[in-house]
Amino acid sequence: MNEALRTRLAGAAARLEEVHRLLASAEVARDRTRHRSLAREAAELAPLAAGYERYLAAERDAAAADEMARDPALREYAAEERAAALARMRALEAELARALVPRDPDEERNVFLEIRAGTGGEESALFAADLLRMYLRYAERQGWTVEPLSESPSELGGYREVIARVTGTRVYARLRFESGGHRVQRVPQTEAQGRIHTSACTVAVLPEAEPEDDIVLDPAELRIDTFRASGAGGQHVNKTESAIRVTHLPTGLVVECQDSRSQHRNRERALAVLAARLKDLREREQTRKTAAERRQLIGSGDRSERIRTYNFPQNRVTDHRIGLTLYKLDRVLAGELDELIDALAARREAERLALAAEAPA
């Protein structure tokens, strides 16, 4: 076990003893709020302290086995005992390192999925539709629900922009790695000479903001406009000004929502998307200021960063953040994203574990 990790665990054990002393005091017993806070802290520290004590016991067993090995008659038995103790130490060290990684409160949240066409004109819009279908199929595999919020269709059946809300179990934990630039290489439908073109889309996966996130939308900072919805929806949608456009004046962020026939419902959804975008903006600004947080990310998280390439002629998909290439693009586009997402999650977990081990006590 490295010294940084050992120091943090020893500090946790010492703090648990201090918390137990405080909980036993009459002063804390009279202060219910402080008593609850300390009891919660004790519950969080107890598994760390217990695990560290088991690690120290295994360490003592290994030292005893080394001492025993000095006796030739016990050398074989001592080697077995030492191997068992070292195995326990390795397992406990990995378990304790994971326990020290701060929990990300966003992982259980629902998300707003935003896909926008980029360079490539109509071909980019068609690729945006492909990406949406890919995520819809993946959501179906996961048992999630997808609720469309807004779409801006292109002439050939693609999307210049589409926004959807995805709800279910651990949605952000799985989709968080999809934010960034997605590049496609293929022969467009409009290409007469069979040449391969490159175009791109950007994807943003924003965890849904909760009231406790302190995202306050000041009405004085909002401009809310109504307009007639375009695209599918029938005559009723097109004849009434049910669509909503919300502009956040301090940042210039603009959100449109036109999926519902209810102006009130569209307003509610648009404000929820705006809150998520503001939360994302605030957190990305914090990340840029903190080098340690940047190291926890896979890639910079910048939406302009190219994260993945989809090459149709070679049936290949490459994730540039981890150098993973799969020759099953057809299956990936059919929603088989787990191999990519699992690899990205494993890399992130490894980096977070390394940071936890290096962090000061």
Q: Please report which helix (H) or strand (E) contains residue 27, including its range.
A: helix 26-30
For the ranges 2-11, 97-106, 177-186, 232-241, the maximum mean pLDDT occurs at: 177-186
Domain map (residue ranges) of the chain:
3-100, 105-350
pLDDT in tens, 125-151: 999 999 999 999 999 999 999 998 888
Q: Note the CATH number of domain 105-350.
A: 3.30.70.1660
The pLDDT of residue 233: 43
Nearest-angstrom CA–CA distance, 344 and 338: 10
Residue 299 neighbours by CB under 8 Å, 6+ apart: 180, 305, 307, 321
Nearest-angstrom CA–CA distance, 325 and 30: 61
Residue 100, judged by CB atoms within 10 A of its CB (0-12, 13-18, 19+), counts as middle
Residue 286: pLDDT band (50, 70, 90) is low
How many Cβ atoms from other residues are within 10 Å of residue 74's Cβ? 14
Nearest-angstrom CA–CA distance, 215 and 210: 8
In this prediction, residues 284-310 reach a mean pLDDT of 58
DSSP 8-class letter at 354 = H
pLDDT in tens, 272-283: 888 888 888 887
Q: Are strands 316-319 and 243-248 parallel, antiparallel or unpaired?
A: unpaired
- The interaxial angle of helices 338-358 and 75-100, nearest 10 deg, is 100
Q: What is the model's pTM? A: 0.62
For the ranges 5-9, 97-101, 301-305, the maximum mean pLDDT occurs at: 5-9
